Amino acid sequence: MKIGFIGLGIMGKPMCRNLMDKGYECVVYDLLPDNVEQMEEAGAQRAESAAEAAKGREIVITMLPNSPQVRDVVLGPQGIAEAMTRGSILIDMSSIAPLASREIGETLEEKGIEMLDAPVSGGEPKAIDGTLSIMVGGKREVYEKVRDLLLCMGSSAVYCGTLGAGNTTKLSNQIVVAMNIAACAEAFTLAKKAGVDPELVFQAIRGGLAGSTVMDAKVPMMLEGNDKPGFKIDLHIKDLNNAVETGHELGMALPMTVQVLEMFEQLHGDGLGQKDHSALIRYYEKITGVSVRK
């Protein structure tokens, strides 16, 4: 089976590679020619437009930055909706606003095209090794058709409900991750300011109730001063803004989310938006004058 794959950034490239490693042929497109060339060298077929990548495919995957880009690629001029056939399936693996997923899906349904929203969690390392957590919204019968394909890119692909439920689950995930990173940054800055070695604090608490996947992945980066992006601050800002907007639609305040969002926004203003979200430690270093990084 040939799959159309659109969006070959930090996450999209390794996800597409994993599909090809499992025997799927991929026709790829990205706005950046270098990304397309890298995948072509890996065995993918080049397309000159998103519509060309989607034309005649039973399944098309999009992995794009945010709602406007997904809407434009799918429904815009020469969008993939015009190239896809009735009965085909769009799997949008971007992290976008749930309302946008539902609106795009409703338009596609009128054309006889099925859609799943299937955002992922795990960042670049898990995209590379194929162990992403995938959260899926849409019709259950459509999910069942593509579950095995999704598991070529992730260690889990959990059905969460109707269209938009995948992105609602992802927003919940991003809130929890943001709170964890902020708590770790605050706690380890406290330890350093009190004269206790943060590395020893990390070893002492990681196996207890405070321990988490986030702590294990991000605290070593904080201590090493490693800001290489597995997940960029600017992307987390995007996700938390989508969470706040969704909260507003539901009449719900998200005070903790807003507070961490403001921390990330300050780092963006300091020119750190392309750094890993673990660089939130720099916010605390700035307000305390204490450097946790080695």
Enzyme catalytic residues: 170
Residue 282 CB: number of other CB atoms within 10 A? 23
Calpha distance 8→62 (Å, rounded): 9
Sign of the alpha-carbon dihedral angle for 169, 23, 145, 35: positive
Largest CA distance in the chain: 65
Instruction: Give the amino acid at 138.
Output: G
Tokens for 3? Answer: 């799959």
Calpha distance 226→254 (Å, rounded): 30
Contacts of 6 (CB under 8 A, 6+ apart): 28, 29, 30, 50, 53, 54, 60, 61, 62, 63, 64, 73, 80
In which residue are the tokens 């960042």 written?
Answer: 123
Beta bridge partner(s), residue 25: 2
Concatenated DSSP letters for 145-174? HHHHHHTTTEEEEEEEESTTHHHHHHHHHH
In which residue are the tokens 């507003």 written?
Answer: 248
Calpha distance 290→286 (Å, rounded): 8
The one-character DSSP state at 44 is P
Beta bridge partner(s), residue 114: 89
Task: Measure CA of the first residue to CA of the last residue in the chain; give whole Å.
Answer: 49
The one-character DSSP state at 278 is G
Pinpoint the alpha helices (H) of 160-232: 165-193, 198-205, 213-224
